[in-house]
Amino acid sequence: MTVTTPGGTSTASAADHYTYDAKPTVGSLTPAAGPTAGGNTITINGTGFVSGAGVKFAATASATVTFVSATQLKAVAPAHAVGTVDVTVTTPGGTSAVVAADHYTYDAKPTVSGVSPPAGPTTGGNTVTINGANFVAGAGVKFGAAASATVTFVSGTQLKAVAPAHTPGTVDVTVTTPGGTSVIVAVDHYAYDARPTVGSLSPTFGPPAGGNTVTINVTGFLAGAGVKFGATASATVTFVSATQLKAVAPAHAAGTVDVTVTTPGGTSAFVAGDHYAYGAPTVSSFSPGSGITGSTVTINGTGFLPGATVKFGARPAATVTFVSGTQLKAIVPNGAVTGKISVTTPAGTGTSAANFTVTLSITGFTPASGPTGTVVTINGVGFNSSSTVKFNGHAATTVVHVSATQLKATVPSTATTGPITVTNTTAPTGTVQSAVNYTKT
């Protein structure tokens, strides 16, 4: 800029420089929203920015503006009422025109008024509805310190969030928007419940008509827990404590079912301790149909329970393995003879229609004791000319095959008190043992 008078024109110098600045423009804001309290820093992108530029949020000037470049400024948002305002930039070139890209929204702080359901499993994965106010698209949700990976905006008063995994306990569900994070309140509580377990029932049986009360013991029970007997829900469940429920058994067909407990933490796993028998057991079949004492028989039927006892004729099996409510495995006891198989539980006894055939067994001997050289008469089934005899593991001095049901054996000098065994090397093959000991005197 120069000045001319009758005395001439001023000499050009650095001091006479005057800059024509282009009018600034605003192209975008990041972030485009924030809390009504202000205080957050906004990046303003555009053109024509200069050092010393001023920034206003509507009519309120930012107290702190930082010049980054001719295309970027940073400004701290001032406090403002809820709503959307235009952010304008003023330089010597003028003030930026109002455009859609300069909109900045002052969001109210979100609030949470309820969560549904208010509890779930520690594994997460269930969808929780969050009710409240001032929700916006893009809101974040946390369960305690764990963020939900999936949040769906439904409306300004509702979000849906998939619960993340968490250890057992109660956490606060918070919502974060540009307006801030919801204040912790009692109604935002969400409980992570451990999966319940069932350890025992009392009683473990009842009539097919149902109606009796069953006490269910172990862990993870809650008020409002549901109980099923097989696929049938109990209509009446009473919460006693975190380790005990009482449920009225519904009607059910005869047989054994699993009693399960369901809470927000999940449904109890099937275990032997949750078995409940409707009606007395039945024995429908067994396999094999014959065998020597000491062999294993698979018994099929209904109403079996852990602790069920099995008899082969009048002889109780010393070893019974519970497989399921419809299957047991039992070892044919020493001294057993051909007869029915029966299964007994607290609910009653069921007996097979067919006989189990014992092919080789020691049913008794006489005398019951004696010194070396005593001849002992051994009674049983399945004896033959291949039969050998031992007294507590010591071979008899002589063995005389009298018949298929009788042997005579001489007690050896090495014998000691213990069971008598008979071994067949031809059919029916195998080794069987007496139910009682022979006493060596």
Alpha helices for 65-162 (secondary structure H):
none
Q: What is the pTM of this model?
A: 0.65
Model confidence pLDDT, tens digit, residues 244-254: 999 999 999 98
**Residues 137, 156 within the same domain:** yes
**Residues 123, 165 within the same domain:** yes
- DSSP string for residues in 39-68: --EEEEEEE---TT-EEEETTEEPS-EEEE
Average pLDDT over residues 133-146: 97
Model confidence pLDDT, tens digit, residues 184-237: 999 999 999 999 999 999 999 999 999 999 999 988 888 899 999 999 999 999
2, part of any domain:
no
CA distance 222 to 391: 61
**Residues 289, 326 within the same domain:** yes
Closest CA to 124 of 147, 152, 100: 147
Spatial strand order of the sheet with 361-366 comes to 361-366, 375-381, 406-410, 399-403
The residues, any chain, with a CB within 8 Å of residue 8's CB and separated by 6 or more, are none
User: With contact defined as beta carbons under 8 Å apart, do 102 and 56 qualify?
Assistant: no
Split into its structural domains, the chain has a count of: 5
272, part of any domain:
no
Here the CATH number for the domain that contains residue 234 is 2.60.40.10
Average pLDDT over residues 392-396: 98
Residue 17 has pLDDT above 90, yes or no: no
User: With contact defined as beta carbons under 8 Å apart, do 182 and 110 qualify?
Assistant: yes
Residue 5 has pLDDT above 90, yes or no: no
Residue 19 has pLDDT above 80, yes or no: no
Which residue, 213, 235, 264, sits at the end of a domain?
264
Model confidence pLDDT, tens digit, residues 254-281: 899 999 999 999 999 999 899 999 999 9
- Euclidean distance between the first and final Cα of the chain, in Å? 140
**Which residues on adjacent β-strands are paired with residue 391?**
394, 420
**Residues 115, 88 within the same domain:** no
431, part of any domain:
yes
18, part of any domain:
no
**Residues 367, 347 within the same domain:** no
Which residue, 49, 78, 107, sits at the end of a domain?
107
Torsion, Cα of 179, 182, 183, 187 (10° steps): 150
Closest CA to 103 of 35, 44, 52: 44
**Residues 368, 431 within the same domain:** yes
The mean of the pLDDT values for the chain is: 95
The token pair that represents 174 in the structure block:
């918070």
Average pLDDT over residues 120-142: 96
Q: Which helix H or strand E contains 270, and what residues bound it? A: none
pLDDT confidence of residue 72: 98
The token pair that represents 139 in the structure block:
């809101």
Residue 89 has pLDDT above 70, yes or no: yes
**Residues 303, 345 within the same domain:** yes
pLDDT band at 23 (very low <50, low <70, confident <90, very high): very high
Residue 1 has pLDDT above 70, yes or no: no
CA distance 438 to 2: 138
Torsion, Cα of 274, 275, 276, 278 (10° steps): 160
Q: What amino acid is encoded at 406 in this protein?
A: Q
Average pLDDT over residues 352-381: 98
**Residues 365, 424 within the same domain:** yes
184, part of any domain:
yes
User: With contact defined as beta carbons under 8 Å apart, do 337 and 297 qualify?
Assistant: no
Domain around 142: 111-193
**How would you classify the pairing of strands 226-229 and 255-263?**
antiparallel
Model confidence pLDDT, tens digit, residues 279-332: 999 999 999 999 999 999 999 999 999 899 999 999 999 999 999 989 999 999
Which residue, 136, 166, 193, sits at the end of a domain?
193
29, part of any domain:
yes
> What is the distance, to the nearest Å, from the Cα of residue 39 to the centroid of all Cα atoms in its chain?
46
Residue matched to tokens 């020493």: 334
Model confidence pLDDT, tens digit, residues 223-247: 899 999 999 999 999 999 999 999 9
**Residues 252, 299 within the same domain:** no
CA distance 150 to 241: 35
pLDDT confidence of residue 7: 81
